[in-house]
Amino acid sequence: MNKMTIVQDTREKKPWSFEFFGVEQIRETVKTGDYTIVGYENQITVDRKQSIGELYQNLFKDYTRFKKEMERMECMESYVLCEFPYSDILNFPDGMPLVWCSKAKKKIPLKLHFGVEHIIKKIETITDRYGVEFIYCDNRREAELAAYNILKEFYEKTEACN
């Protein structure tokens, strides 16, 4: 069996590192998601979400772009790995960033048009329609480990069949 090489998208600002696991990691443009495996770029992908704020942005503000990515994921084994627990969704909008309001001359909570029920429904719709699995972790380190395990399991299973 060849050694697995993980591909990290070049647009990742704070990338995960898999060096601790003893695997090679390279930076290249990943068309779908943020992480994949060399040779399997069209078969598996992991998309990372760092916060409930980022997920909210994708689900509602940038949905056209996000939906196109979900459509590409439909033909792959695909995951959205969240670096935050599911309770962050249930407690939404706690933890949302403050934004500068020039009129008030101070930071105020981001104006939100959708609540918890909308977020949950949108995630369920994406899972049902595109087969994308959402996984929630307690923190960055746990999400990094989950990503490694997902990619490793896929790689070992696929290589064993070849």
Q: For residue range 33-65, what is the model confidence (pLDDT) as tens digits?
A: 999 999 999 999 999 999 998 999 899 889 999
Asked whether 153 and 100 are in contact (CB, 8 A), the reply is: no
> Is the sign of the CA dihedral 25, 30, 34, 40 positive or negative?
negative
Q: pTM here?
A: 0.86
The parent domain of residue 130 ranges over 5-161
Q: For residue range 98-109, what is the model confidence (pLDDT) as tens digits?
A: 666 666 676 655
CA nearest to 141, candidates 44, 48, 79: 48
Element (H, E) at 100: strand 98-101
Look at the chain and report how many structural domains it folds into. Answer: 1
Asked whether 64 and 31 are in contact (CB, 8 A), the reply is: no
